[in-house]
Structure 1
Amino acid sequence: MLQTQRPDYVLDAIAAGVDEKMIERLVRAFYGDIRADEVLGPIFEARISDWEPHLQRMCAFWSSVMLRSGRYSGRPMPMHAPLPVGGAHFDRWLGLFEAAAQRECGAAADLFVARARMIAQSLELGIAGARGLILGLDERLPAP
């Protein structure tokens, strides 16, 4: 029988106790923090009127990221490209995500944060490209 191999980070996540319940706790805690944030809250509130579908989509996204569940199928870049954000917004997003992960995920927090950093970097570079910018190694996305 042919067995599909999981990447090491998935095996590490499973070993650290990552499951769908943990992902949902993290997503709900994190977006609660986002909604209360004075900088990021208004950006999200201007675009999301019904939060429950968004939270469910983010649970599916993180399930696919951390466990390779295949629950998420979508294209995040087109949704993020027009956002009025810069590098400082990504730093704030990561700070809130890291704090929520530390509160909700115990030993698995660092695994979530490592993936979040890669996702944030990818989105920041993608948004820069959508604005016609090419960022150097130490350059950050300027705020619009």
Structure 2
Amino acid sequence: MASRPTTIRSIPIITPAEGVTEKMIRELVVTFYDRVLRDPELGPIFHEALSGRWNEHLAIMVDFWSSIALRTARYSGKPQAAHADMDLTPELFGRWLDLFGETAREILEPDVAEFFIGRAQRIAESLQIGLGIGPKALRLP
């Protein structure tokens, strides 16, 4: 009787992203959202949603990205709920991702930029699914 090889499923260990620092995260967030505010498509939406709360939002976004990149667990918000009342479309998510990618590639080392861009793409996809928009959104009949 021949023995069959055992397959062991490996569970990836989540570790902080190599080369990422809090300073990088803060620079990315501040630079990106400054560009968002000036963007003709995204600016009006974010101005309306966050009027008078920009400093608070920036701090939340730094905590969010720190939790993702460095596993600091500082972010405990609910992104779906935070975006539910915004008039978002797949095209606006595309614009957001383009601007985020441009910013990341401009100010970060290539491997660090690609880490953030990859995470941003997954986050945007998840948000669109949760908000019921975009090509992968779950639509019930």
The TM-score range, normalised by the shorter chain, is 0.7 to 0.9
The AA in structure 1 aligned to 2:95 is R
- Spell out the pairing of 1:34-113 with structure 2 (5 A cutoff): 34-48=36-50, 49-106=52-109, 107-113=111-117
Counterpart of 2:128 (choices 124, 135, 138) is 124
Contact 1:63 1:69 in 2 (8 A): yes
- More helix by proportion, 1 or 2? 1
Percent identical residues = 40
Q: Does 1:23 align with 2:48?
A: no
**How far apart, in 1, do the equivalents of 2:107 and 2:29 lie?**
9
Provide the aligned C-alpha RMSD in A: 2.1
Contact 2:49 2:86 in 1 (8 A): no
The AA in structure 1 aligned to 2:55 is E
| TM-score, normalised relative to structure 2 | 0.82
1:47 Cα deviation after fit: 1.3
1:65 Cα deviation after fit: 0.9
Structure 1 runs (4+) greater than 2 angstroms displaced: none
1:103 Cα deviation after fit: 1.3
Q: Deviations over 1:49-88 (max 9, x none)?
A: 2211110100000000111110111111111112101100
- Unpaired runs of 5+ in structure 2? 1-11
- Unpaired runs of 5+ in structure 1? none
Q: Deviations over 1:90-143 (max 9, x none)?
A: 000000000110112113000000000000000011111xxxx7x665x7x9xx
Rg larger in structure: 2
Contact 1:40 1:93 in 2 (8 A): yes
Aligned length: 126
